[in-house]
Amino acid sequence: MLRRNALLATAAAALAVGAPALVQAKDAWPVKTITLVQPYSPGGTSDMLARIVAQELEKRIDAAVIVDSKAGANGNIATAFVSRAKPDGGTFLVGSSSPVVISPTLYKSVPYDPRKDLTPITTIAKAPFLLVTSAKSGINSMDDLMKQIKADKVNFGSAGAGSPQHMIVEMFQMQAKVKSPHIPYKGSAPLILAVMSNEVQYAIDNPVPLKPQIDAGKIKALAITSKNASPKFPGVKSLHELGFTDFEVEPWYGMIGSKGLPKELAERMNGYVQDILKQDNVKQKISELGAESYGMGTADFAKLIDSDIKKWGEAVKASGATAD
């Protein structure tokens, strides 16, 4: 009896101090390794989101989850790789919307059809972009900028011809019925340097690389591309609020499976990721990237992809941009 009581006391003490007496069982998965392919250089938003999802997935599924960067061709290389992967639940794309909804129009041909060769799983996050100018430009408001554009005194920069940064400006110009010369750069880093030096007078870019320069007073944010202002950027109104009625562009990041992925696996993965996105710690991590947790069902994601191919395609055609 004394030995039994001692054992019970030891077990109770272990539970009291939070010892790992019980380990939550993980769900079985058809493969032992899941690869999340992200289509850009390591360290960017897609890479960070993939790592957040990978860490949380391993808590739920009995499989190792790794992140593999396959950069190149505006994300087309990684997207094509995933489209051709074995549909066994072992390979998923985690990245921005660009190679899925912009590339099919921007390029004369891409080695995949986003509607037929990919299996939508879920969106993960969405991120409004900022319309910015240099602190040296003398432009202090959207009214100032519009006057300068109409007087043909400014140009705009982007992170590359056909990039989301380029296309969002084209969407803005289409609605505003204005046009300015375009100077493409090779990525956000040189674009931001060009804005800071007033080599280009305005640009639209992801808030993550912009924020340090905004905080340092070297770049001014004139507007945000979400429908409403964001508490992350106090005092910065949305283009919609500034008179560009219903303007709303928030590029998304999502998870996509290979062609022919069984519906049962697609729905299960959707459920895991949707649950992950509801966790407070995950919401906080995504918020720190300048984005917002944003999940949806597989059918709704397929509809979003279809509508965005049309929306972004119109902007590509209006701009005349090509990337071949």
Task: Tell which residue, 36, 13, 136, has the closest CA to residue 89.
Answer: 36
Residue-averaged pLDDT of the chain = 91
Structure-derived torsion over alpha carbons of residues 50, 52, 54, 60, reported in degrees to the nearest 10: -140
Task: Tell which residue, 102, 103, 84, has the closest CA to residue 37.
Answer: 84
Q: Is position 240 within any domain? A: no
Q: What is the CATH number of the domain that holds 272?
A: 3.40.190.150
Q: Give the pLDDT confidence of 44-96 residue by residue, as tens digits.
A: 889 999 999 999 999 999 999 999 999 888 899 999 999 999 999 999 999 99
Given the structure tokens 């003398």, which residue do they identify?
A: 138
| 57 and 103 belong to one structural domain | yes
Q: Is position 241 within any domain? A: no
Collect all residues with Cβ–Cβ distance below 8 Å to 39 and sequence separation of at least 6. Answer: 46, 69, 70, 71, 72, 75, 76, 77, 78, 79, 93, 95, 96, 99
Q: Mutual orientation of helices 45-57 and 263-277 as an angle, nearest 10°?
A: 100
pLDDT band at 324 (very low <50, low <70, confident <90, very high): low
Q: Give the pLDDT confidence of 258-302 residue by residue, as tens digits.
A: 999 999 999 999 999 999 999 999 999 999 888 899 999 999 999
Taking CA atoms, 61 is separated from 3, 21, 53, 272, 290, in Å, by: 38, 20, 12, 9, 28
pLDDT band at 19 (very low <50, low <70, confident <90, very high): very low
Determine the distance from the C-alpha atom of residue 34 to the mean position of all C-alpha atoms in its chain, rounded to a whole number. Answer: 21
Can you read off the two tokens belonging to residue 136?
């040296």
| Residues 236 and 230 sit within 8 Å (Cβ to Cβ) | yes
| Residues 276 and 282 sit within 8 Å (Cβ to Cβ) | yes
| 271 and 219 belong to one structural domain | no
Q: Is position 74 within any domain? A: yes
| 43 and 107 belong to one structural domain | yes
| 179 and 41 belong to one structural domain | no
| Residues 109 and 138 sit within 8 Å (Cβ to Cβ) | no
Task: Tell which residue, 112, 56, 127, has the closest CA to residue 272.
Answer: 56
| 211 and 288 belong to one structural domain | no
Q: Supply the range of the domain harboring residue 315.
A: 33-127+251-319
| Residues 213 and 197 sit within 8 Å (Cβ to Cβ) | no
pLDDT of residue 103: 94
Secondary-structure percent of the chain, ordered helix, strand, coil, rounded to 5? 40, 20, 40
Q: What is the CATH number of the domain that holds 199?
A: 3.40.190.10
- The better pLDDT of the pair 9, 157 is held by 157
| 100 and 113 belong to one structural domain | yes
Residue ending a domain, among 224, 242, 261, is 224
Instruction: Check pLDDT > 50 for residue 182.
Output: yes
Chain length of the chain? 324
pLDDT of residue 73: 87
Number of domains the chain is built from = 2
Q: Is position 24 within any domain? A: no
Q: Is position 301 within any domain? A: yes
